[in-house]
Amino acid sequence: MIGVDPAAGATILGANLYTRVWDRRHYVDIDLSASRYKGKIREVSSSVKEIIVSELQAEPWGPRPVTELTRSEEAITMSPELLRRNVGIASGAGFRTALFWGVEWYWLRTRGDPSMWEAARALVEEHR
């Protein structure tokens, strides 16, 4: 389908922003800078009204279900610092809307660790 506009007919186009994942064998860093996302936005911006981050990584990925990961395993792919980095990439690229993907912070908070919950809350307030 060479030459076909992937956003043809779309009003809002959603992009995923994941930076570190488990690929069933090992952890993989997805190294896309804000400027690379900005370039991708320019490529399709004339054909849609808005481009958003429909999935911004805000949850850990690992070799087992998240409920079975240790805190140190979770921290490899998600932490308050990594969440801030991901939001910074989205913001630097010019995305006006980013939907966080992951509610594990609520689960962690109910188990006595509010760090991700508080980081997400602070980032939402900061970027309103």
Span 67-84, mean pLDDT? 92
**Other beta carbons within 10 Å of 69:** 20
Q: Which two tokens stand for residue 123?
A: 């980032």
| pLDDT of amino acid 2 | 55
Assess whether pLDDT exceeds 60 at residue 121. Answer: yes
Q: What is the dihedral of CA 85, 90, 91, 97, to 10 degrees?
A: -130
Rounded mean pLDDT of the chain? 88
**Other beta carbons within 10 Å of 4:** 6
Quick one: 10 exposed, middle or buried, by C-beta within 10 A (0-12, 13-18, 19+)?
Answer: middle
pLDDT (tens digit per residue) in 7-51: 667 788 899 999 999 999 999 999 888 998 888 888 877 778 888
Partners of residue 29 on adjacent β-strands? 20
